[in-house]
């Protein structure tokens, strides 16, 4: 089994993991990147935000960077999953619309695609191709992976598009085109002091309209989204460095000690010190923040 990295490569931000999961061995977590999951074998459950999906082999799952989730298995059994992780940047410069399934509320509330559907089988084959290429790293593997990833996302967009009316699709597409530069702006500046007004100015909307656009488009408000990005950066620094906790929260963008501890405990369910001490013995998902 390959040892996961603390973060994705900046030049080629795609990676994979094959996980064998037993009942109740994975803690709730989320990633600062996007995720495609494929159940390879076994039966269990996938908890995403406040929804629970029964999992069967062949099922595909779509998870964005703001959705807490847990993969679980029925007692006494083992489930095996293939996960493909990637940063939005790998698609942003080519076809941003391929990110719609990960950043649009009408889509992200439908995280599961049943393995009985042809699209799940097609995406499953593409994910297997990506997995093999990332493992073997033969000449040209990056091109193979990017091609398979773009095909997977294109299939996802077409599938989700088929679930919406023409009016719903137009509203979804318009909202995405509006929110997309705001999400880019936050990803680039979340460790700095930024406010809703800064993001609103960046996308030429009023603060009130920007706030509602966040809720309508991705389900999180601006502040919730920003805090999740900062907490995830703090987790990365707690695991990957020996920085004092004061430096961790300052480098993560938190304005003060109190807001950092409050947000961290609310989202991670433990203190930063407890997290740093226990992460080596918790489920290995936590080693891939």
Q: What is the pLDDT of residue 109?
A: 66
- Please report, for residues 36, 208, 212, 213, 226, the alpha-carbon distance to residue 219 in angstroms, rounded to integers and kept in the order given: 19, 15, 10, 9, 13
Residues lower than pLDDT 70 in the chain: 1-7, 106-109, 279-289
Over residues 101-139, the pLDDT tens digits come to 887 776 666 899 999 999 999 999 999 999 999 999 999
The contacts of residue 258 (CB under 8 Å, 6+ apart) are none
**Residue 13 tokens, joined:** 């931000």
- Which H/E stretch holds residue 251? helix 245-251
Q: What is the pLDDT of residue 5?
A: 40
SS3 35: strand
DSSP sequence for 142-179 = HHHHHHHHHHHHHHHHHHHHHTS-HHHHHHHHHHHHHH
Tell me how long the chain is.
289
Over residues 137-150, the pLDDT tens digits come to 999 999 999 999 99
Q: Residue 230: CA atoms inside 13 Å, Cβ hemisphere, count?
A: 30
Q: What is the pLDDT of residue 259?
A: 94
Distance of CA 151 to the CA centre of its chain: 19
User: Distance between CA atoms of 270 and 75, rounded to whole angstroms?
Assistant: 26
Q: What is the pLDDT of residue 24?
A: 76
Q: What is the pLDDT of residue 275?
A: 87
User: Distance between CA atoms of 71 and 52, rounded to whole angstroms?
Assistant: 10
């Amino acid at each position: 089994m390959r040892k996961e990295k603390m973060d994705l490569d900046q030049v080629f931000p795609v990676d994979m993991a094959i996980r064998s999961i037993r009942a109740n061995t994975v803690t709730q977590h989320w990633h600062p990147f996007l995720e495609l999951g494929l159940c390879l074998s076994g039966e269990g459950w996938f908890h995403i935000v406040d929804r629970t999906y029964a999992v069967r082999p062949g099922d595909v799952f779509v998870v964005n960077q703001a959705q807490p989730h847990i993969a679980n298995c029925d007692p006494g059994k083992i489930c095996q999953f293939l996960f493909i992780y990637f940063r939005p940047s790998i698609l942003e410069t080519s076809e941003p619309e391929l990110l719609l399934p990960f950043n649009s509320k009408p889509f992200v509330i439908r995280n599961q695609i049943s393995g009985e559907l042809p699209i799940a089988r097609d995406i499953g084959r593409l994910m297997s191709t990506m997995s093999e290429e990332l493992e073997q790293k033969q000449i040209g593997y990056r091109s193979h992976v990017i091609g398979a990833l773009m095909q997977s996302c294109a299939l996802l967009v077409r599938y989700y598009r088929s679930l919406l009316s023409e009016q719903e699709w137009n509203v979804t597409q318009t909202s995405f085109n509006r929110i997309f530069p705001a999400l880019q702006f936050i990803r680039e500046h979340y460790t700095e002091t930024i406010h809703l007004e800064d993001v609103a100015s960046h996308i030429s909307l009023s603060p009130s309209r920007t706030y509602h656009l966040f809720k309508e488009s991705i389900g999180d408000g601006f502040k919730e989204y920003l805090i999740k990005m900062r907490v995830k950066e703090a987790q990365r620094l707690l695991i990957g460095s020996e920085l004092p906790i004061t430096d961790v929260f300052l480098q993560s963008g938190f304005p003060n000690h109190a807001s950092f501890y409050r947000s961290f405990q609310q989202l991670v369910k433990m203190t930063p010190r407890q997290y740093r001490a226990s992460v080596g013995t918790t489920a290995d998902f936590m080693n891939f923040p």
